[in-house]
């Protein structure tokens, strides 16, 4: 720890976002970064606490105080090595992780946590700029073959570790490009896709094999994979979106958030869509149903597409601004989150349930009928929803985007064909070492945890890789 008093003398300084007017005119990343001097000063604020709660708060167990010290001293290469010892793509988490580490940083008690996430991103960018990130293929191959199905962060994280352990890894992806939700869910204004490509180039140079446009269970059978590979890892995500079961759901202009976001990601890449296929918010009244991150991404995308108005509604009550007494530090704060997209302009409404969608004579959606709800505890202390009489409200909407979360992985096709066991929520059931009910088949990420975060997917991929590796060693 280089500067023991910096946390007293130096204030937290964020890179901040580009000005709203500028950033809403394009799909470039919204976040800015600090210069080297400021960044090193920010890293010097880390107190190197005896018990590093940030390390506990980070799902991949990042050795945060150690690499803050390296950043403070300007040892970018050392910082990169420490960082990547627990997370193989910190350039992604450094951009889009909600940073539970910062919420549990001891300095967060006084609201001035170390800028851990931004520091993380800077370390990787410095390392790439300085030419110190080079392919490190394994010295020896084990002769064992592993199939990873799904190329989101969990699949990639597992593929990286298994390849480095010397196994020959093939990643199968049903889409036309690698990355899972990093590629086709998260908007470019949060994560520029060149960042993913840069990492994939390294993985290819290290020997990971990628097969796109290949749906396992359709283009290649699960039986073939089980015969040709020594182990199979399912990293298929939780792609079953929660639907809105109300009258009017079938109207034109009502879409799942992912249809809208994925198409925009593809348009930015240069794909073209016909007028009838194109989902555009331009000049429309957009209603986003669901108050979470996916909904927020729909807001930011609609703003950039020049929507006339955007309203985001949520069934739960508005969270508090400050932590409540039963939600103390260092736990994740259940407080209101305002994203860069929210700041760009949208109406946010809470405690509203959608009763029906209304359409015109041509079958186009024109509005949504919603009512207010109260959340009250029942006799068992569970929160129950109660509609407020006389609270019916009509919200104008000619584009409705459903972003009410994801239920589970898709069972139809591959998972049912493998006859795997599911847990109560419909996720793939796994043992502690990520093994499924089939000995040779492992699972990672949202497919077993349920829809979550990139950092959890990365950790789950690492854990699954360890499980697969042990299994293969027993086979050897």
Residues that bind ligand FAD (CB under 6 A): 96-97, 149-155, 172-175, 180-182, 185-186, 190, 215-217, 235-237, 261, 293-294, 297, 414, 445-447, 451-455, 457
* Residue among 46, 71, 79, 101 that touches ligand SF4 (CB under 6 A): 101
Q: How far is the CB of 326 from ligand FAD (least distance, A)?
A: 25
316 touches 350 (CB < 8 A): yes
Question: Which partner in ligand FAD, ligand SF4, none is near 148 (CB below 5 to 8 A by kind)?
Answer: none
**Measured from the CB of residue 87, what is the shortest distance to ligand SF4 in angstroms?**
6
Which CB, 93 or 312, lies closer to ligand SF4?
93
- CA triple 100-105-110, angle to 5 deg: 115
Q: Which residues contact 394 (CB under 8 A, 6 or more apart)?
A: 358, 367, 368, 369, 370
Cα–Cα–Cα angle for 463, 466, 468, nearest 5°? 110
Give the range of 95-103, 158-166, 179-187, 370-378 binding ligand SF4 by CB under 6 A: 95-103
Query: Could you give the CA distance from residue 179 to residue 158 in angstroms, rounded to a whole number?
Result: 13
Q: Is 459 in the site for ligand SF4 (CB under 6 A)?
A: no
Candidates 216, 353, 399, 455; binder of ligand SF4 (CB under 6 A) is: 455
Q: DSSP E strands: which ranges in 174-256?
A: 209-211, 231-234, 240-241, 254-256
As a whole number of angstroms, the longest Cα–Cα distance in the chain is 71
Q: For every residue of 96-144, which 3-state class applies, written as one string?
A: HCCCHHHHCCHHHHHCCCCCHHHHHHHHHHHHHHCCCCCCCCCCCCCCC
User: Measured between alpha carbons, how far is residue 450 from residues 186, 271, 275, 408, 422 in Å?
Assistant: 17, 30, 35, 6, 12
* Interaction partner, residue 352 (ligand FAD, ligand SF4, none; CB < 5-8 Å by kind): none
Token pair 């007028």 is at which residue?
275
Question: Measured between alpha carbons, how far is 48 from 2 in angstroms, rounded to an integer?
Answer: 10
Rule CB under 6 A: choose which of 93, 115, 312, 403 binds ligand SF4. 93
Query: Which of 39, 52, 100, 210: binder of ligand SF4 (CB under 6 A)?
Result: 100
Q: What, of ligand SF4, ligand FAD, none, does residue 452 touch, CB below 5 to 8 Å by kind?
A: ligand FAD
Question: Which of ligand FAD, ligand SF4, none does 186 bind, CB closer than 5 to 8 A by kind?
Answer: ligand FAD
Cβ of residue 181: shortest distance to ligand FAD, in angstroms? Answer: 3
- Which x/- pattern over 107-126 shows residues binding ligand SF4 (rule: CB under 6 A)? ---------xx--x------
Rounded CA-CA distance 353/392 in Å is: 10
Question: For residues 114 and 186, which CB has a smaller minimum distance to ligand FAD in the complex?
Answer: 186
Q: How many CB atoms lie within 10 A of CB 347?
A: 13
Of 6, 30, 97, 124, the one binding ligand SF4 (CB under 6 A) is 97
What lies within 8 Å, CB to CB, of 41 at 6+ separation is: 6, 10, 13, 72
Residue 65 binds: one of ligand FAD, ligand SF4, none (C-beta under 5 to 8 A by kind): none
- Taking the C-alpha atoms of residue 77 and residue 126, their distance in angstroms, rounded to an integer, is 8
Residue 174 partner contact from ligand FAD, ligand SF4, none using kind-dependent CB cut-offs of 5 to 8 Å: ligand FAD
Enumerate binding residues for ligand SF4 (CB under 6 A): 58, 60, 62, 64, 87, 93, 97, 99-101, 116-117, 120, 455
């Amino acid at each position: 720890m280089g500067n023991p008093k910096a946390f007293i003398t130096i204030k937290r300084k964020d890179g901040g976002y580009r000005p709203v007017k500028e950033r809403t005119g394009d799909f470039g990343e919204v976040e800015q970064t600090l210069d080297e001097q400021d960044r090193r000063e920010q890293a010097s604020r880390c107190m190197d606490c005896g018990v590093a709660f940030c390390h506990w708060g980070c799902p991949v167990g990042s050795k945060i105080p150690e690499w803050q010290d390296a950043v403070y001293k300007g040892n970018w290469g050392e910082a990169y090595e420490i960082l990547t010892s627990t997370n193989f793509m910190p350039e992604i988490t450094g951009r889009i992780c909600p940073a539970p580490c910062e919420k549990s940083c001891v300095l967060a008690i006084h609201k001035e946590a170390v800028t851990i996430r931004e520091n993380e991103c800077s370390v990787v960018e410095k390392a790439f700029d300085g030419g110190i990130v080079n392919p490190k293929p394994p010295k020896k191959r084990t002769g064992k073959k592993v199939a990873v199905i799904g190329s989101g962060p969990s699949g990639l994280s597992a593929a990286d570790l298994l390849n480095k352990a010397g196994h020959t890894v093939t990643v199968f992806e049903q889409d036309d490009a690698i990355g899972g939700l990093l590629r086709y869910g998260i908007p470019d204004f949060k994560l520029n896709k060149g960042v993913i490509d840069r990492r994939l180039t390294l993985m290819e140079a290290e020997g990971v094999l990628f097969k796109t446009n290949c749906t396992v269970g359709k283009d290649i059978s699960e039986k073939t994979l089980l015969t040709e590979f020594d182990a199979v890892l399912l990293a298929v995500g939780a792609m079953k979106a929660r639907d809105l079961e109300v009258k009017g759901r079938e109207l034109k202009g009502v879409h799942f958030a992912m249809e809208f976001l994925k198409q925009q990601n593809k348009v930015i890449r240069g794909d073209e869509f016909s007028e009838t296929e194109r989902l555009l918010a331009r000049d429309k009244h957009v209603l986003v149903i669901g108050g979470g991150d996916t909904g927020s991404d729909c807001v930011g995308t609609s703003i950039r597409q020049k929507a006339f108005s955007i309203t985001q509604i949520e069934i739960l009550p508005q969270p508090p601004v400050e932590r409540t007494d039963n939600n103390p530090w260092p736990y994740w704060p259940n407080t209101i989150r305002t994203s860069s997209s929210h700041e760009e302009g949208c109406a946010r409404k809470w405690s509203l349930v959608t009763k029906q969608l209304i359409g015109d004579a041509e079958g186009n959606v024109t509005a949504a009928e919603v009512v207010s709800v109260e959340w009250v505890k029942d006799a068992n202390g569970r929160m129950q929803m109660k509609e407020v009489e006389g609270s019916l409200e009509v919200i104008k909407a000619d584009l409705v985007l459903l972003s009410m979360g994801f239920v589970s992985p898709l069972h139809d096709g591959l998972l049912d064909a493998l006859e795997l066991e599911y847990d109560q929520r419909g996720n793939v059931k796994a043992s502690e070492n990520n093994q499924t009910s089939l000995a040779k088949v492992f699972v990672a990420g949202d497919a077993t945890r349920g829809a979550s975060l990139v950092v959890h997917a990365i950790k789950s991929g690492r854990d699954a890789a360890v499980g697969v590796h042990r299994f293969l060693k027993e086979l050897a």
